[in-house]
Chain A
Amino acid sequence: MEEFNYLAPESFDQAVVAKSQHAEKSRVIAGGTDLLLRMRDKVVAPSVLIDLRHTSLDKILISNGVMILGTSASLSQILENSEITQHFPALQTACREFAGPPIRNRATLGGNIVNASPAADLVPPLMAYDASIVLRASGGDRALPLAEFFTGPGQSVIAPDEILMEIQIPLLPASSAATFIKLGQRRSMAISQVNLTARLSMNNSDCVTDARIALGAVAPTPVRAHSAEDALVGEKLSEDLIRMAAKKAREEITPISDVRASLEYRLEMTEVLVRRALIATWKKQRRTKTSG
């Protein structure tokens, strides 16, 4: 690891000033579970590290129908939050299947996003829940849909003077349900071969009013399967319709072969897992309807 100057600003404002001052030469460090490995392998060599630990950016709260998650909320904090259990259970499933407890105690939501790995587990659920993010620079804030943040593996639109401040998710009507599925080489401590979240809103006659299918590890960035979603909306849900939508999802993705899985396996499993996720989501819908 190259040497660096370690800063731990006492407030978020000071962190923003430090980031604009050191820009390209600096990196923010949150949990460090991605950054330290990259620094050790000399993929990145920042001369200044800006630690967010004193900036109180780990709050999780609901305000005006929007859940606001501070960028430094750890995966363990997300797992312990009962409002997330109630409104965004698929995000918690993704956290539960992420590494093991000691990593979950350090790794942060914002780090998972800014790291911009195509396989990041928390991104598909956030995308399926229509999350947006707020970036702050000394010049001001900028908000954008999470889906517009990523530009390639490890690449995003974040500017060198910007810090991710928070993630916002609009609360959903009770008629919406979602399912996260991760395929890895084992149950814990595995990076995803494919991960996805499906979310459906339906009316009383089983007609799909809204659909989201967000996929990870099958393209240069996390992606939405738009044509599969379009195939569902306005239609009465059936197993045939689900099968057809799953095929469309397979046609939309552009996976590669790597150490974790081959291209062919990813294509095949995407179709299977989209089908499974849609069926599981449909079942959840029925359960909410019969119970209330």
Chain B
Amino acid sequence: MLPGKNSEERKPVDEVEIKLNINGNVTQVKTEASTTLLYMLRDDLGLTGTKDGCSSGDCGACVVMVDNKPVNSCMMLAPQAEGTTVITVEGLEKDDELHPLQRAFGETWAFQCGFCTPGMLISCYALLETNDDPSREEILTAIAGNFCRCTGYQGVVNAVQRAAAELRTKNEDTEKTDV
């Protein structure tokens, strides 16, 4: 696993074939059983939005959705993801439009270097899937596994609340048009 599948340390091994749904596309990948989901996404599929900050579950830069729950992709073997549905940061935008959370992150200065942002976005996205009006405390709990080493967390809290408000208004509008 660390530091990735191209490392010289690695010996060639039997490949495993994995089928899963990534960002809405059914995908078939040949990789090695010891590859983590993180490096399968980055090296085998070119989805480099998901970052490796520690490869030990501590920093949250690698967080992706697996079957509707945020998990550390560095702590999961590729074959453990067989048959699952995965959403990465690349899957948040729809029809070439950024997700309201992504826009709010920019508008509230929720990042500087951006390294923690993909994982942070996924943890916040997971929160908004189950809570459309989170409190500051609930947001801090949701991102307790995501470390930001250069910006801090206040901007993230503001971004999530801004995006939540936008999504609520949108939903009300759709409900009205539905009637």
Task: List residues of chain A with CB under 8 Å of any chain B CB.
Answer: 1-6, 8, 29, 31-33, 36-37, 40, 49, 51, 53, 76, 99-103, 105-106, 187-189
What total of chain B residues lie within 8 Å of the partner, measured CB to CB?
35
In the assembled complex, B94 has its CB within 8 A of some CB on chain A: no
User: What's the count of A-B pairs with C-beta under 8 Å?
Assistant: 85
Q: Looking at the complex, which one of A4, A76, A103 makes contact with B33 (CB distance below 8 Å)? A: A4
Contact B33 A106 (CB under 8 A): no
- How far apart are the CA atoms of A32 and B34 in the complex, in Å? 12
Q: Which of B20-28, B70-78, B103-111 contacts A (4 or more CB under 8 A)?
A: B70-78
Contact A6 B75 (CB under 8 A): no
Task: List residues of chain B with CB under 8 Å of any chain A CB.
Answer: 1-2, 11, 13-14, 16, 32-34, 36, 55-58, 60, 63, 69-72, 75-77, 79-80, 82, 123, 126, 141-147
Q: Which residues of B contact A49 (CB under 8 A)?
A: 33, 77
**Closest residue to B78 on the A side, CB-wise?**
A6
Q: Looking at the complex, which one of B14, B77, B145 makes contact with A103 (CB distance below 8 Å)? A: B145
Consensus secondary structure, chain B interface? loop
With A3-B33, A188-B145 known to touch, is A102 a contact of B77 (CB < 8 Å)? no
Q: Which residues of B contact A102 (CB under 8 A)?
A: 57, 60, 63, 70-72, 123, 145
Contact B13 A1 (CB under 8 A): no
- How far apart are the CA atoms of A32 and B70 in the complex, in Å? 15
- How far apart are the CA atoms of A51 and B56 in the complex, in Å? 20
- How far apart are the CA atoms of A125 and B33 in the complex, in Å? 36
Contact B77 A6 (CB under 8 A): yes
Q: Which residues of A contact B70 (CB under 8 A)?
A: 101-102, 105
Q: Which residues of A contact B72 (CB under 8 A)?
A: 33, 102-103, 106
Contact B144 A100 (CB under 8 A): yes
Could you tell me the distance in whole angstroms from the C-beta of A76 to the nearest C-beta in chain B? 7
- How far apart are the CA atoms of A187 and B143 in the complex, in Å? 12
Q: Which residues of A contact B11 (CB under 8 A)?
A: 3
Contact B75 A3 (CB under 8 A): no
Could you tell me the distance in whole angstroms from the C-beta of A9 to the nearest C-beta in chain B? 13
